Chain A
Amino acid sequence: MSDSKASSKVHLTFKQNLDMIKPYVKKRILEQIKSVWLIVLYLIVFQTLILGIPISEASIISVGIILVVAGLTFFMEGLVLGLMPLGEIIGVKLPQKSKLPVILTFSFILGMGATFAEPAVGILQVAGSSVKAWDAPLLFLLLNKYSNYLVYSVGIGVGIAVVFGMLRFLYGWSLKPFLYIMIPGLLAISALAALDPNLIYLTGLAWDCGGVTTGPVTVPLVLALGIGISRIVNKGGDSGSGGFGVVTLASAFPILTVMILGAFFLFSVPKPMAEADFLSSQNRAATVYLFSSPENMTGYVLQNASKNGQLTYFNGDPALMLSSIRQLAQDNQLKKAVFGEKAEAAFSNWALFKATDEQKLAIFGNAEAISKETDRYLASGAKGVDAWELTVRNSVAAVQAIVPLCVFFFLVLWLILRERIPRKDELLLGIAFAVIGMGIFSVGIELGLSKLGGQVGEKLPAAFKSIELADQKTVVRNFDPAVVQTAISDQGVREQFFYLSGDNRYTALTYNPAGFDQASRQYSYVPKKGPLFGATGGMLGILVVLIFAFIMGYGATLAEPALNALGLTVEELTVGTFKKSLLMQAVAIGVGLGIGLGVAKIIWGIPLIWLLAPPYVLLMFITKTCTEEFVNIGWDSAGVTTGPITVPLVLAMGLGIGGQVGVVEGFGILAMASVYPILSVLLVSLWVNRKQKSALQEAAAEIA
């Protein structure tokens, strides 16, 4: 029997096909527009109307947003047609045809594979990009030199989680004991870790890893697999709408494995110390361990250390420093060792914009050469977006994230289960849709959403303090300090300013001597903005930021594909009694709250554990009173919130604010965005349960 007999097949004309495709496509695109419009409109309105700053690169961003909508449309359809049915088929077939060790091995490989396929470590590296090696050596080591160990340990964590998840389904174990043991355990470990200056920075990373690893491919696959396995387990009468809970475990186990990894390297790394101590030659033996090579360390120091720090690094000898740099400029081999892959670009960027005047002179010889090089570099950099590179990179990532896992599933079906796959054409179409969709929306996010989010995030602190608008930086060539004039205020305070001509008018600009570069004879200035609401650091401004963070978290969450998939599944399994929209609203409000508090953490520098422990402790009590079904759904919502839409936006904002108020790392917001949705979903479920119970009691009262 084939799926579609040639004899009974109905053939449609091209026009008929088109007539069928039109409403289908329209409905799905509208769905995605509905999920994305809020966050996009909000970001635009906020930046243009409230902050009063124009959006730069508006056309590229709007192309990006169109791509996000198109990509999400494909991806969601791909999930529904391809990935989720595939996961469910395996879930139903595997326990029937194979023994426990095979199931568990499969689960472990799936968990590991999913982590490697969706390497969230890139996101974590961005989050930790502002971490200086001397402030948090262990964190720096794991994010850079040993970032692959970090991925392995997260992969192992997710693998173990999927194994336990499947065991739960097979033996009907409750999720609650896992939570009662794991969450207090992890909190205790984190509290202990806070005693060690190195580990304290790692806690934020560890808690974020958990949430970040469960991406838009892993979640639907694991959910579908769990649903399939639950369907095959005889629970003695109940129709059992199980299948949830794996995502929760997949968020919790990596916290543990990352902390263990940290403990393993703890004694190999130096303690956090001042920059000068870290770079001094006495500590070199210990500090060079954090880098892949001494040259790599040189590169890091040149690009990240302060002027004095660099001097310390070269044994306090300016001549040695300059000669080393001169040698570096000429030796391409060395350049590669110091600056890594794209050595030439990184070197130019450093030499022209970060190097001190002496270093510049050492590299380029004289002032004219510097300004010529600057012109050349700026001209070459003004090309804009490299569309081809962007497309290729994201397509490759999409294929990597989806195809190997699907091939693995198909192989298991064919080789181990020896099962003919029903509706194969539909599954393959779905997988193709998912790959296409993921490729398109990753490009779109990079071009549109994360740019827009980054711009707003960077400028958000303008609400409560004065910030520099770096993207509106202007450079005046051949500046002559002679044009600078002096003005006086009614209090007698003197201020220097000069007139800038252009656009047929003269603008008076404050003169800041630090903006003038003697060597290149350039004056660069950066316009300032803020504080827009009240005084610097005033409550009103901070309140605006917190409200912004809340709405952004809320809007971004509604657009998350993994949450949409979870919502669909929940609605399907509860036959519509727990609506997708109710779940999504509850989760979105939770994420909004979490992100708001995460931002508060950054602004006021509140330790993460203070903000994580109370909600988790509260959750322990609520979990006890909730039904098993809702506990599973509620805790799973935590893992799905941190996906491809929320993460870049949140990180951009977190780093933007963090950069403006000067904190070490931007970790922890994502962990906050994970815990509060659990709280909101469980509270909603308590309310739903109460309503159902009171209806039954109403009926019971009538009997009596």
Chain B
Amino acid sequence: MRRELMNMNTTIRIAKVTCEVYKSLAPLAIASLRKQNIEHVHAHSRRAVVLREQSTFSFLPTITGLDEDPAEVLEFYLPWSQAEQVLKTVVREVNLSAPGRGSIYAEEVQLRNPEGVDFINSNVTLSGDAQPELILTELASINCVVQRGQGNEIARHALEAGTNVPAISFGLGTGLRNKLGLIRVTIPAEKELVNVIVHAQDRDEIMNALIQAGRLDQPGNGFIGASPVGFGVLNPKTFRGKQRYSASMEQVITAIDQLKTGTEWRKKTVSLQRSDVYLKKSFLHDLLNMTLICNEGKSSDIVNAAISAGAGGATISKIKYSTMTASKHAVSPAREAISMGVSPKSVEAIIHAIEAAGAFGSDTACIVETKPLPLACTYLGK
């Protein structure tokens, strides 16, 4: 039943590809997508965070600070079967296999299109010569929602746990807030969304580290969840500063990846500690991540409908929809993405509720994207 509801327009497997590059490389990435006839793209800005060794005076000990740079995120849906080739072409054309430029990865999602518009890019022009780019597989995307201002702290802990470059975007939290009267203005709604892609084997440990860093199992501190990512190329350039060896760590890693033709060797060998065992118990299992992308201004209606049908709370961020080709679409470029962690049982009810709220009409043009959220954590009350 759920499958039917979700893939109303199509029965093929859908991939959502996320390409995140430093801002000055965005035109290169966009050109590559345009060349491959990727028509529907949702874009937003993030800031990529890396460690920076700061040496003010030579006699002082060096401190490690954070460097924050603007990054552009381009997301698009396409048939799963074509995702790998498109991704490889972008990697080659934007030179993402070189560390320090950006990352690109594909997740399998289920998608429901609004009436009249198909956001799946099915007419992709595949470039013939697929080169053997080194692609990582079995990844996981960790997403963490914290209060505005806490994002860097989470990102720093992720970096210190040895992840690839994390990125932060802005959003607005809603949930209990919406149920209050005007007094809601006293609750800060501004959130930061920290995203980092890790190897599936390292997922639990890094999540534990981040839960501890942000005390996310305590009330009012936020939410963390991890969902599987099929494959991708990540940005391991997490450190800027003096280079003490003839090759940088990133170069060494890339070289070993190529020698071993894979990244299995990178698995962290840290054993679980006692506190992690305690934390394991507070994990939520087998939720779904539901992302609703609708026209700007409609999110409060949709969130209200979703919450009345059983969703707990949501994070809303502003994104921009673009058609790469000249063809005109009725869909507004100003869009909002609503992200929620929901129980699989309530998906159907939520979709019905938002449909009743007019989500799939041309005025709202809401996309429903779901993907598994096998592991999550937040404060669940006493």
Contact = CB atoms under 8 A, between A and B. Distances in A.
Contacts of A17: 183
Interface residues of A, number: 52
A491 B95 CA distance: 89
Contacts of A232: 332-334
B69 A702 contact: no
Contacts of A698: 100, 240
A306 interface: no
A239 B304 contact: no
Interface stretch (A1-9, A341-349, A592-600): A1-9
Interface stretch (A159-167, A191-199, A495-503, A688-696): A688-696
A10 B176 CA distance: 8
Indicate the member of A23, A89, A577, A693 with the most B CB atoms within 10 Å.
A577
Contacts of B332: 92, 96, 232
B219 to A, nearest CB: 15
A237 B100 contact: no
B23 to A, nearest CB: 8
B294 interface: no
Given A574-B45, A693-B24, A234 B169 contact: no
Contacts of B79: none
B182 interface: yes
B182 A235 contact: no
A359 B165 CA distance: 83
B305 interface: yes
Given A238-B322, A576-B68, A702-B98, A4 B43 contact: no
Interface string B262-287: 00000000000000000000000000
Contacts of A419: 297
B179 A238 contact: no
Contacts of B151: 576
A232 B296 CA distance: 9
Nearest to A7: B308
Interface stretch (B26-34, B138-146, B342-350): B26-34
Contact of A423 (B24, B33, B180, B300): B300
Contact of A20 (B169, B187, B237, B304): B187
Contact of B47 (A238, A576, A700, A703): A576
Contacts of A480: none
A21 B183 contact: yes
B107 interface: no
Given A4-B178, A573-B45, A575-B170, A21 B186 contact: yes
B250 A702 contact: yes
A703 B98 contact: yes
Interface string A663-704: 000000000000000000000000000011101101110110
Contacts of A237: 26, 30, 33-34, 41, 43, 74, 322, 324
A240 interface: yes
Contact of A234 (B45, B47, B300, B323): B323
Interface string A13-45: 000010011011000000000000000000000
A575 B45 contact: yes
A702 B333 contact: no
B45 A12 contact: no
10 shortest A-B CB distances, which residue pairs? Answer: A699-B100, A237-B30, A24-B186, A703-B98, A239-B43, A231-B334, A575-B47, A10-B179, A20-B186, A577-B70
5 contacts: A8-B307, A9-B179, A575-B169, A692-B24, A702-B100
